[in-house]
Structures are given as structure tokens and as C-alpha cells.
Amino acid sequence: MDYLEAKNKFISTWGSLGSLWGINKAMAQIQALLFISTKPLSMEEIMEELKISRGNTSMNLRQLMDWGIVTKTLVAGERKEFFTTEKDVQELARIVAKERSRREIKPVIKILNEVSSIKKDGSEKTKELIKQTRALHELTETMDSMINKLVDQKQNWITKSVLKLFK
């Protein structure tokens, strides 16, 4: 496999995996392209490389910047905007985990808390709803807390040990 084939396969695969970490295919492909690029890329270079429209590129770059994964970079002598992404894989994973917690898990925790705090009317169905949603709330809150503590660590011996357990 040559460089071009390997690059295209990586970008395509990363794009398909994007949904697993909460982003669409084009967003993931843009991030993948920037991730393997040796220099900052302009919007035009991204559009040309991935064969996607200006609007699609612009919208997805903005969302990647909102996530904190992509940043604008100044290139001396250029008037265009250029973009780069986080290159440290562990830092990238930390950013994604924090953002997914904020966007997805925290709202679920809030809803589970509200639902499990309903007024007790003495019925079995209400008791069961409260019991099960409290259990889910506690589990979700505990898991979110554990994940946040793990991703907040900067590759210390505990983090390395935990990561080894998952391998």
C-alpha cells in the first residue's frame, strides 16, 4: 500500500468511526486529514482533498473548533485562514471525553435526577420508576465522575495502569 492509498483509507475509516465519538462523517474526515497533515491547511485545501463543499467544510470546521479539537492558525504572509488539530492522541481523547460528557452525559444525569425526584403517590409503578431511575442516575453519575477523573490525569502511573487494564 502506498502513501496515498494509506492516507485515503485512514481518512475514510476515521470518518466512519466519527459517529462513535459523537460527530458526523465529514467532521471526522476533516479532523483526520488535519491530524496527519504536516502543516496547517486552508479551507480550500481541505475542500479539495476531501471533495466536499465550502459550506460543509465551513460548518464542520466551526463545530470542530467548538469542540476544541481544531484551531485556527496564522501562516506568515497568507491572508487565508489555516487550521490545525490536536496531534497528541491522549490529549485528543481527553478533549473528546470531556466534550461528550458535557454534551451527552450531563443532560442525561439531569433528566434522571428530575425523573427520580417525582412526587410519590404510593403506587407500585411510581415506586418502581423512582427506584430504577435513581439507580440509573447514581450509576451514570459515578461513571461520568470516574471518566472525568481519568481523563483529567496527565499520564501518571495510575492512568497508565488503568489503561493497561483495558488493553
pLDDT beyond 80 at 154: no
Most confident of 4-8, 91-95, 161-165: 4-8
- Nearest CA among 43, 42, 37, 41 for reference residue 11: 37
State the pLDDT at residue 162.
60
Rounded CA gap, 89 and 126, in Å? 46
Average pLDDT score over residue span 141-145: 89
Q: Is the pTM of this model over 0.85?
A: no
Q: pLDDT tens across 21-68, in order?
A: 778 899 999 999 999 999 999 999 999 999 999 999 999 999 999 989
166 pLDDT band, cuts 50/70/90, is: low
The angle at the Cα of 34, spanning 32 to 40, to the nearest 5 degrees, equals 175
Collect all residues with Cβ–Cβ distance below 8 Å to 162 and sequence separation of at least 6.
150
Q: Is the pLDDT of residue 101 over 90?
A: no
Long-range contacts, stretch 138-141, CB < 8 angstroms, 24+ apart: 140/105, 140/108, 140/109, 140/112, 141/109
Structure-derived torsion over alpha carbons of residues 29, 35, 37, 43, reported in degrees to the nearest 10: 50
- Please give the average per-residue pLDDT across 102-130, as a whole number: 91
pLDDT top residue among 146 and 29: 29
What is the structure's pLDDT at 32? 94
Residue of 111 and 16 predicted with greater confidence: 111
Grid cell 483526520 — which residue? 32
pLDDT recorded at residue 75: 87
